[in-house]
């Protein structure tokens, strides 16, 4: 079985340093937004039982045979657990594209935006759109950077635009303990845009992150056990969405 791969700076080098201007996504869709059940991890459980210690079993992945994930430092920290759990689910072709500080639609220095990453990956896909599941775990670095939900939604459209309409999509939402209102603004925009797109669901990190012992003292980044919780949220959401 091929091990999942993590790409960051190499992909950025291929993209170049210039930001790509994205157009608003087409928000019409015949596919409804899918409300994925919240994983049982973290609900009435101590940290040991939400840390990913439960067995992850292979699932019937249907037509999906590959996963593309785009994330920031939270994904970077959880990558070893994501790799292990994606493999246990039965996915051999997984590409995790994560870099600290990554934003949804803003490129800075050698850190390409999520929108640029999505455009680059989508241009190289040769399989049918429905065969690749996209997982986006961005937005934390965009908290408090915009004036209102509409501006955040416009940034989200930039990353949704290059993702094929037929591709299933999961977006992991955000949590910033010291900025609840700005966090809610980003999460509302994520909810709005995925509802409009359809064939999508949300991994509700905002529900699990506040659990005692998950985050470091900064109220943003998971500790070692929290990284396992994050990975378990992602893979549980994938399993729920595809079955």
What is the average pLDDT across 136-144?
98
Provide the whole-model pTM. 0.79
Per-residue pLDDT band at 126 (split at 50, 70, 90): confident
Contact between residue 108 and residue 144 where contact means Cβ atoms under 8 Å apart = no
5-13+30-242 in CATH: which number? 3.40.50.1110
In this predicted structure, what is the pLDDT of residue 42?
Answer: 34
Angle at Cα 184 formed by Cα 179 and Cα 189, nearest 5°?
135
pLDDT surpasses 50 at 28 = no
Q: What is the CA radius of gyration of the chain?
A: 16
Contacts of 56 (CB under 8 A, 6+ apart): 85, 88, 89, 232, 235
Regarding predicted confidence, which is higher, 7 or 178? 178
Percent of the chain clearing pLDDT 90 (strictly above): 70
The mean-pLDDT minimum among 10-24, 75-89, 165-179 falls in 10-24
Residues 120 and 18: their CA atoms lie apart, in Å, by 13
- Write down the pLDDT at residue 61: 65
Q: What is the pLDDT of residue 63?
A: 84
Band (127; pLDDT cuts 50, 70, 90) = confident
How many helices (H) and strands (E) would you count in the chain?
A: 8, 6
pLDDT averaged over every residue in the chain = 82
Per-residue pLDDT at 41 exceeds 70: no
Please report which confidence band the pLDDT of residue 58 belongs to, taking 50, 70 and 90 as the band edges: low
Question: How far does CA 79 lie from the centroid of its chain?
Answer: 12
Q: Where exactly are the structural domains of the chain?
A: 5-13+30-242
Task: Give the mean model confidence (pLDDT) for residues 141-166.
Answer: 97
Q: Note the pLDDT tens digit of each residue in 89-105.
A: 999 899 999 999 999 99
Q: Give the pLDDT of residue 243.
A: 82
Phi/psi region, residue 165 (left: phi>0; alpha: psi -120 to 50; beta: rest), is: alpha
pLDDT at res. 52: 37
How many residues appear in the chain? 243
Question: Residue 215: its pLDDT value, please?
Answer: 97
pLDDT digits 0-9 by tens, 165-174: 999 999 999 9
Neighbours of 75 (CB within 10 A): 27
CB neighbour class for 181 (10 Å; exposed up to 12, middle 13-18, buried from 19)? exposed
Can you spell out the DSSP letters for 78-93?
HHHHHHHHHHHHT--E
User: Which of 41-55, 109-123, 140-154, 190-204 is predicted least confidently?
Assistant: 41-55
Map tokens 């998971």 to a residue: 222
Residue 75, pLDDT score:
98
């Amino acid at each position: 079985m091929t091990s999942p791969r993590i790409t960051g700076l190499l992909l950025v080098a291929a993209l170049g340093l210039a930001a790509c201007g994205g157009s608003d996504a087409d928000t019409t869709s015949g596919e409804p937004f899918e409300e994925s059940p919240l994983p049982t991890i973290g609900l009435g459980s101590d940290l040991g039982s939400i840390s990913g210690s439960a067995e992850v079993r292979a699932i019937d992945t249907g037509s999906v045979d590959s996963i593309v994930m785009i994330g920031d430092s939270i994904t970077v920290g959880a990558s070893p657990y994501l790799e292990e759990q994606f493999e246990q689910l039965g996915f051999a072709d997984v590409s995790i594209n994560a870099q600290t500080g990554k934003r949804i639609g803003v490129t800075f220095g050698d850190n390409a935006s999520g929108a640029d990453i999505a455009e680059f990956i989508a241009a190289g896909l040769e399989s049918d759109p429905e065969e690749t599941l996209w997982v986006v775990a961005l937005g934390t670095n965009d908290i408090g950077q915009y004036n209102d939900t509409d501006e955040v939604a416009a940034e989200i459209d930039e990353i949704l635009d290059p993702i094929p309409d037929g591709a299933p999509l999961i977006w992991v939402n955000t949590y910033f303990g010291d900025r609840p209102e700005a966090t809610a603004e980003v999460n509302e925009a994520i909810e709005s845009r995925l509802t409009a797109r359809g064939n999508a669901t949300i991994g509700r990190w905002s529900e699990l992150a506040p659990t005692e012992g998950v985050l470091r003292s900064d109220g943003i980044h998971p500790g070692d056990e929290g990284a396992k919780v994050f990975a378990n949220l992602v893979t549980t959401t994938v399993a729920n969405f595809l079955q």
